[in-house]
Structure 1
Amino acid sequence: MTYYAELSPPPRTIMTPGPVEADPRVLRALSYPILGQFDPAFTELMNDTMGMLRALFRTSNQWAYPVDGTSRSGIEAVLTSLVSPGDRVLIPIYGRFGYLLQEIAERCGADVAVLEKAWGTVFDPEEVIAAIRASRPKLLAMVHGETSTGRLQPLADIGSACREYGVLFVVDAVATIGGVPVETDAWHIDAVIGGTQKCLSVPSGMAPVTYNERAERVLLARKKIERGLQGSVDSPLTGMHDGPAIRSNYLDLSQLQDYWSPARLNHHTEMTSMLYGLREGLRIALAEGLEARFGRHRLNEKALSAGLSAMGVTLYGDPACKLPVVTCVDIPDGIDGESVRSMLLRRFGIEIAGSFGPLKGKIWRIGTMGYSCSQKNVLHLLGAFEAVLTRHGMKLHTGAALQAALDVYENTEV
């Protein structure tokens, strides 16, 4: 008979772009007793969660709830629910996750047009607006914070143009929600997808989404077709009318919103414990205060960047559009990047990330997100990083990194 040891994951300091360390209060919430999904106590938790998500997304939308599944389930739910075969979809790409949006849209049967930008930069909003005028898509999908390159895309002017030209604007805010401002209403975003495992410090397993009445009209038109009803539900949005039924059952937002409505129409068995964790993560974020939380992320990024620069390594990408929650570092010539990552993990219990595609083997990516975004972690990482790089034969400004980071902490008002 085979015997297995009791589960005991090793303690880690996780400084990747996700997942990150879960807040201990979230882990405690995950252990609470199970409630039935239609128990009044549980449906009240559902209502609480929707209200807190509206505050987090900074929206007055009726619909703000989690899709059960990882962040990608939220992206797929939004795109499969809004995009019909043959719809024109515009996707500006400046990193790996823009290509993910392209792939999902193509799987929906969309006629996809892409704009591409060199990795390490972002789009000038006017470039995107010019493409909107030229192609007149039904939907524009963009990544807000691109973790593969550590860059942040400005969105406000793009959203205004989408509204002017009758285009649905969908944003992947998986990496930014809870750590960087996401102004759903002010930026005229029609649908936003967030993630739990990054700046919210909740385990992966839910994808918070929100969408407005413009998006809902598309859902309801497709729902009518699905049910075989007669008549037309035309939308004032350019080129939008009744389309084919939504192909997915599980990721059908029109059914999910019925489940999250007061009617509580049964769709699936809700992930009880994950909802506890999400609710607690949202409570923690709102209790800290969003502006204070954004400030904490900026402060630790500033200290980390100052320390790395003082150490003598080079930061990757255009600093004008740096993502505050991910810092990318060029791997120096002659240094084995994977060996450095392995030693950090093995000797110090610190995990940082490599990258993808054209940046594979060329940069390290260091996350300062959520519960992992702390002075303790930044100082621990800088000291360990200096030691490991020295061990790998790199000549550094020994001791300068920690002093530069301490200068930031001691001289920055919070």
Structure 2
Amino acid sequence: MDANETDTRGSGAAEPGAVEPDVSIVIGAYEAMPYLIRCLESVEGQTLPAGRMEIVAVDDGSTDGTGEYLDAFAARTAIPTRVIHQANSGGPSGPRNTGLSLARGRYVFFLDADDYFGPEALERMVAMGDRAGTDVILGKVVGVNRGAAKSMWKETVERVDLYHSNVKFTLSAQKLFRRELLQRLGMSFDEKLRTGEDALFTMEAYLRGNGVSVVADHTCYYLVGRDDGKHVTKSGSYVLRFDSARALMRLIATHVPPGPRRDSLMVRPFVITLLPQFGPNLLKQSKAVREKKMALAAPLLAAYWTPGLARGLKANERLRLTCVAMGRLDLLLDVLRFMKAKSEPALVHEDRPSRLYLAYPHFRDGSGLPDSAYEVTVTEWIGGRRIEAPEPKPYLSFARRVVRKIRRTALRTLRAPRSQRGRAGARTRA
């Protein structure tokens, strides 16, 4: 252990050689008071027996009493608890890695000190992992004083299809991971990334682990928005977001070959990480920032933007990224002004083949933007109306229709004499 760390073991601390716990709860804490109080109460309130859990808490250089509260908790709790005090690392990756290196449980859960568990959360998630044999178990998350992803909690699933599931849209670290997987792959959080490090870690576990389970019928985790605005996701330069997007895209490309499956996963970094940099707020930013963002995005679009990926997006999303891919900041700004004004695009229907377009700015005006950038390919909502992509209709080219008509006429001609003779014979016998 480094000289600037201390190890505090309370009455519940595990002795060397103790039975392996089911879950190691790793808590990285920085300036976490008073949220830490409820966080730890939620651990003590779990239905797993105290001996089947352990807490590894890392005080990352706090000055608000966080470290002292952890020491006091460790001294009185029945849960084996280890507290590490270290100098501030500047981000969540450092304390998580410290905690992971000391974890002994079959599973590891990364619990943020601001958040708290729902009752029975760990018991239900451990039971799911043991039953399904999966390496990552997601428990339903609900936001408190902040939003939380919802689309992946529609049903409890023992083993999801990663490429068709919405679990790719929840890549935070607050999940149950099988520790054997993390050890075997030598996984840790990238301490060079200042945001999105949890997305990189979780996506790697999704891709390289033995399956993902979802517990959706019980609230397992409460994601808390801090009143003081110190939550890590609310801070940081836009450059950090591009660093995060680049790292996640590179990881996906490393483990998934080009094609529909890669495209389905790439939707996540493009829509959640990259696209917000090209929203209406861009209108308020300086010319230098706009041009810098375009320059940062260009190599990502050149490397990973594909027609298959594009068709998985809403029209306004695809249109904005198409403008970025073409280097047309001028056209992008026009689209953003249209969006900021909350204007509604006209619907343009076409047959043969059946297509529907949303006529955002520069639709068919000679600017060079392709029709495909405006096409409705997924369900959208415009002005409170649900807009569906048209069902594909079977369509035959003119040449194929002519060939079919000739073939049907020839068959009728060949059959006619036989039919006529048959009818004539029937009349004679009558």
* TM band (smaller chain): under 0.3
TM-score (norm 1): 0.24
| TM-score, normalised via structure 2 length | 0.23
Q: Is the radius of gyration larger for structure 1 or structure 2? A: 2
Which one scores higher on RCO, CA 8 angstroms, separation ≥ 6? 1
